[in-house]
A and B are shown apart, each in its own frame.
Chain A
């Protein structure tokens, strides 16, 4: 019980709890879209591209202060958006670049980021915190930022679910019907980049993909219809976050890694339960 009370006793844990829950809400909402659009590798590519922005930002700003966090976020977002813009253009209407091109993109951005960090930013911040996530680096700004993102992104996607559903089911038919599918494509990329950059301190470049994929895969396999995939995915992400944070605190495990492993375990347990439940009903 005291392990639960910890989250409301220590301010950094309270901050981590609410930041992670906000991130779970955002990723849970976007996840079914990313999985359906087959953008899994693209999400990894954006998060790795973000490392270049972080490395450049760390050359100029300290991450421990709220002001430093704000400018670091801004510069990371800007650089990541610039880096992923060609990929967003190339993927419109299924003109997917080859896997090799995406691989080239993220190894180039990540490699350059590491070199820049080594040359200029290594004394100001720990890049490892961004690779695997570190809730100790979270500031009040990060919490407010994730809260604001929830207030903007959630209505944009949740209230427009039927539009997103048609866009996901058949983009060509949606375009013929008069839907501005190009806008939807770029809004998705923009929201994805925002969420990834804002969530780096919690899950890290490498592990944030678990948030972007596993809730969506779970929802698409278990939800009875398209509309409820969003709700299923969000609830899954929230449950995994609460369990992951509790375990990380109780066992003194790294948060990013614990969240990723808990999501995978929860996924297999839930799918197993659903399969058994369906068999029992038959």
Chain B
């Protein structure tokens, strides 16, 4: 088995006393592996990211980073946000963002930027402003930035958000290639269950006090049901409709026949 890059043991976090967002979460990620993180909205996925990146201090538990088998204080990390997280009022160009991929250490030379953009099949001008890119183009540029960063740990927060099916497939295929080429450990938050099941090597199903972590093949229906508080068949209906479930979702009242899907709303 490849080397461990990140190990999380017994992580607990709450924003206010008595309201635990993460409880005793334990998992590990290896080099050259995608850990798909599934769970409803408010289930603690983003909180987990913030704990890993050091923006939030967990109440208990241990987060350990490794490099070549040795424990290190903090690895080179990079973060791919959703497009709507970035500041649209600032006229940053594709070239300027990629140039910053290795900060605070150094600027990336021009020829490497060109090669990275070619690698992610970005064909437009690097002088374009990021705010003028489509969602798919923006995510490709962020992936190029991850290429250039030389980081071994990549955190991706819903990179396929707003992309159509083809766009999602293309981006996730690129992420797969990236993983193999760079031997990077990737943590991938995704709402699209089917995509995570297809691309994640390991899975972490997370909903506040409940979590499950193992290899993809070990996943069973009841684990997803437990995570989303929703029957598996209902989950598939939500998936088709593109619904986003929150952490309290349970016992919705769908009819399962196709003709009835369209007029049945989500009922709590």
Contact = CB atoms under 8 A, between A and B. Distances in A.
B86 A169 contact: yes
A166 B77 contact: no
Contacts of B80: 173
B91 interface: yes
A271 interface: no
A264 interface: no
Chain A CB count within 10 A is highest, among B100, B130, B155, for B100
A25 interface: no
Given A165-B92, A226-B96, 8 more contacts: A162-B96, A169-B87, A169-B90, A172-B55, A172-B85, A173-B79, A177-B79, A226-B90
A36 interface: yes
Closest 4 CB pairs of A and B: A176-B79, A226-B92, A166-B100, A225-B93
B97 A169 contact: yes
A180 B104 contact: yes
Given A165-B96, A176-B78, A179-B103, A229 B91 contact: yes
Interface residues of A, number: 26
Interface in A140-199: 162-163, 165-166, 168-170, 172-180
A224 interface: yes
A223 to B, nearest CB: 6
A169 B103 CA distance: 13
Interface of B: 53-55, 74, 76-81, 85-87, 89-93, 95-97, 99-100, 103-104, 107, 127, 129-130, 149, 151, 155
Contact of A162 (B90, B100, B130): B100
B92 A176 contact: no
Interface of A: 35-36, 93, 162-163, 165-166, 168-170, 172-180, 220, 223-227, 229
The A contact surface, by secondary structure, is helix
Contacts of A163: 100, 103-104
22 contacts: A93-B55, A162-B96, A163-B100, A165-B96, A166-B100, A168-B92, A170-B85, A170-B86, A170-B87, A172-B79, A172-B81, A173-B78, A173-B80, A175-B54, A176-B78, A177-B79, A178-B76, A225-B127, A226-B90, A226-B92, A226-B96, A227-B96
Nearest to B86: A170
Contacts of B54: 175
Contacts of A174: 103
Contact of B77 (A35, A169, A178, A180): A178
Given A162-B96, A163-B104, A177-B79, A225 B91 contact: yes
B87 A177 contact: no
B53 A176 contact: yes
A99 B91 CA distance: 26
A4 to B, nearest CB: 35
Nearest to A180: B104
B129 to A, nearest CB: 7
Contacts of B151: 177
A174 B85 CA distance: 13
A165 B77 CA distance: 19
B89 A220 contact: yes
B100 A223 contact: no
B155 to A, nearest CB: 7
Interface core residue of A172, A174, A176, A220 (most chain B CB under 10 Å): A176
